[in-house]
Amino acid sequence: MLKIYNTLSGKKEEFVPIDKNGKNVNMYVCGITSYDEVHLGHARCYVVFDVIRRYLGYKGYAVKYIQNFTDIDDKIINRSNELQITSNDLAEKYINDYFTQMRKLNVLDADAYPKVTEKIPEIIEFIKKIIDTGYGYVAEGDVYFSVRKFKDYGKLSKRNVDDLKSGARILPGENKNDPLDFALWKKTKEGEPYWDSPWGKGRPGWHIECSAMSLGEFGFNTFDIHGGGHDLIFPHHENEIAQSEAALGRPFVKYWIHNGFVTINKEKMSKSLGNFFTLREIYKKYDPMIVRYMLLSQHYRQPLDFSENKLEQAKNAYQRIVNAVRKTDGIKDDISAEQKFIDCLDDDFNTPQALAIIHNLIDKNNLKTLLKLCDIIGLIVDIKTEIPDTIKKLTKQREQARKDKNWHLADEIREKIKKEGFEIEDTKLGPKINKL
């Protein structure tokens, strides 16, 4: 029985799909704002939800997985102005970067990637619904959501409206009635991209995008899973709930799942703090599967404090799996191990414990199960190793030394090969070269 920690209820719940037949699952995850290269924080989010998606598929569910791209907002506009290129060109550049880096991590493509700029008519219609229900109001070309009218505001983040008001204020240029209200539509400023609307030229607010795009993909019905990083709980997901349920008059999402931060020295990794590492940088030193392994080595809801030492640990652990696969031709299946693995993932996708089960299979000659379990969590075990010509040459020299019974020289060459990251295994069929 699969149990998922639901941020909305604050506890683990048995997963029961909304679909009457219990087979179809609709899942939406907030995508990147495409103004810069993807970093390790992004990787954690999308690897986590890739595992969740894969595991639901393994359990027999047909998953429709949607992930948006925010391709217009203040950050994109400001960055495109700095670089003197269009906001569209900037967004496309970093959307392409997203696909390049995530595919190296073996993150499966979503079934659809709606973009804000392609869904403006749908977003406008959704804002109209909110206005019609009395929760939205127009103020000098802007449209705002009236937070105090939505009685359940704060139910996801467990925040009290009165407590929130003490820290809220109306910024210059804002025309809202209450400091807590948030923008559904923002009137255009000089030099900014804009779209025509019933309220004048402008563009959508951030929060309305995901409501309109997710519900649009799922037929404006309550859907099963909405996910994203822990930092999106408030205000983004809280606002999504308010505006969506105000428009629909029924629940928006059944299960809310949030992954923990990636931190550096216990401080959240972020572009604004300048303490983030792009995936492109990390891949220069570490195989993407080592990065994926590291991300799965911590439970998804817990913070992951990043360091190079963590990557080195992941490298050694992942290499143990690869070496085990290279050294065995066993096809034995281990049903007991697979069940233990399932039990781990059934317990709110406990990947650290699942990895421990995989490691318990090493040296037990049950390659079939080991590879199957790795595949379930998207961990590619690449057993094809390119052996450099220098290593091949040293191996031949060592074989000659062994034939000449020059054991001292043979041992010296073995150590030299080891320092280059390879290991010689003597078999009946001759030397076998393994990567350390």
Answer yes or no: same fold for 3-259 and 278-376: no
Of 155, 157, 31, 53, the closest CA to residue 97 belongs to 31
| Whole-number Cα distances in Å, 369 to 318, 363, 434 | 16, 12, 22
In this model, does residue 183 exceed pLDDT 90? yes
The DSSP annotation for 387-421 comes to PPHHHHHHHHHHHHHHHTT-HHHHHHHHHHHHHTT
CA distance 99 to 366: 34
Peptide bond into 235 cis (omega under 30): yes
What are 122-150's pLDDT values in tens digits?
A: 999 999 999 999 999 999 999 999 999 99
Report whether 25 contacts 227 (CB < 8 A): no
User: According to the model, what pLDDT value does residue 230 have?
Assistant: 97
Which CATH class, in words, describes the domain spanning 278-376? mainly alpha
The phi and psi torsions of 192 (rounded to 5 degrees) equal -95, 150
What are 351-393's pLDDT values in tens digits?
A: 999 999 999 998 787 888 999 999 999 999 976 666 888 998 9
Structural domain boundaries in the chain = 3-259, 278-376, 389-435
User: According to the model, what pLDDT value does residue 276 have?
Assistant: 76
Of 73, 99, 400, 52, the closest CA to residue 226 belongs to 52
Please tell me whether residue 64 adopts helix, strand or coil conformation: strand
Output 22 or 266, whichever has higher pLDDT. Answer: 22
CA distance 201 to 193: 9
What are 291-340's pLDDT values in tens digits?
A: 999 999 999 999 999 999 999 999 999 999 998 887 776 667 788 999 99
The pTM for the full model equals 0.87
The phi and psi torsions of 305 (rounded to 5 degrees) equal -85, 110
User: According to the model, what pLDDT value does residue 324 have?
Assistant: 86
Which CATH class, in words, describes the domain spanning 3-259? alpha beta
In this model, does residue 344 exceed pLDDT 90? yes
User: According to the model, what pLDDT value does residue 239 have?
Assistant: 98
Mean pLDDT over 381-407 rounds to: 87
